[in-house]
């Protein structure tokens, strides 16, 4: 969100446009994080081998079943995989909708992380600040949020003082980079 706001031009945009762009950017980053997790899952998960369909079937064999959870094909009562079961497997694309929802929930932290700067932007608008002032305040809020998040994460993990200082410095450098981006783009 900070990078987007650093590129905003308060002379051309309005508060509603800036807020709308910020909300859209947060949603896109959230979806991109979940999508990348889906792709990573697909790349890590081996595809089960699918046996070619039999041209003829024994009269007493029953239909095949597909285990939807694992995507594996099982022939019942000694039958071989049939074309319908092969099609069902081909149409499945892991992960299932349930897994996608889980990944979206897991990546919800992206939206939570952007909520504080977005709130700062909204408060500046409500207070009657200029858009330029609001963007600057929001960028400092982004930088501060990153530093506080690093500090809280380090304290929660009970890291030593040196590791905590390094984590906070890493967060501070990201915050400073966002502010520098505004300076470079103006």
| pTM for this prediction | 0.66
Give the per-residue pLDDT at 68.
47
Are residues 58 and 84 located together in one domain of the fold?
yes
What digits encode the pLDDT tens for the residues 61-110?
444 454 544 544 454 444 444 454 444 444 444 546 677 778 788 888 88
What digits encode the pLDDT tens for the residues 96-148?
667 777 878 888 888 888 999 999 999 999 999 999 999 999 999 999 999 99
In a domain, 100, yes or no: no
CA distance 149 to 151: 5
What digits encode the pLDDT tens for the residues 7-66?
877 778 899 999 999 999 999 998 888 888 878 877 887 766 666 555 544 444 444 454
CA distances from 164 to 92, 101, 133 (A): 45, 33, 32
CA distance 50 to 81: 8
Are residues 89 and 137 located together in one domain of the fold?
no
Number of domains in the chain: 2
CA distance 159 to 139: 28
Are residues 29 and 88 located together in one domain of the fold?
no
Give the per-residue pLDDT at 43.
84
């Amino acid at each position: 969100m900070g990078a987007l706001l650093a590129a905003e031009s308060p002379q051309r945009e309005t508060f509603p446009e800036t807020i709308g762009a910020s909300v859209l950017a947060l949603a896109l980053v959230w979806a991109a994080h979940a999508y990348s997790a889906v792709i990573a899952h697909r790349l890590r998960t081996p595809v089960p081998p699918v046996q070619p369909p039999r041209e003829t079937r024994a009269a007493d064999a029953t239909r095949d079943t597909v285990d939807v959870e694992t995507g594996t094909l099982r022939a019942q009562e000694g039958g071989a995989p049939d074309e319908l079961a092969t099609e069902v497997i081909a149409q499945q694309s892991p992960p299932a909708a349930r897994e996608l929802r889980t990944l979206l929930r897991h990546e919800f932290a992206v939206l939570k992380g952007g909520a504080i700067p977005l709130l700062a932007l909204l408060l500046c608008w409500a207070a009657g600040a200029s858009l330029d002032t609001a963007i600057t305040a929001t960028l400092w809020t982004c930088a501060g949020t990153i530093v506080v998040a690093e500090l809280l994460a380090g304290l929660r993990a009970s890291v030593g003082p040196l590791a905590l200082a390094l984590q906070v410095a890493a967060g501070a450098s990201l915050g400073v980079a966002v502010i520098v981006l505004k300076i470079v783009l103006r």
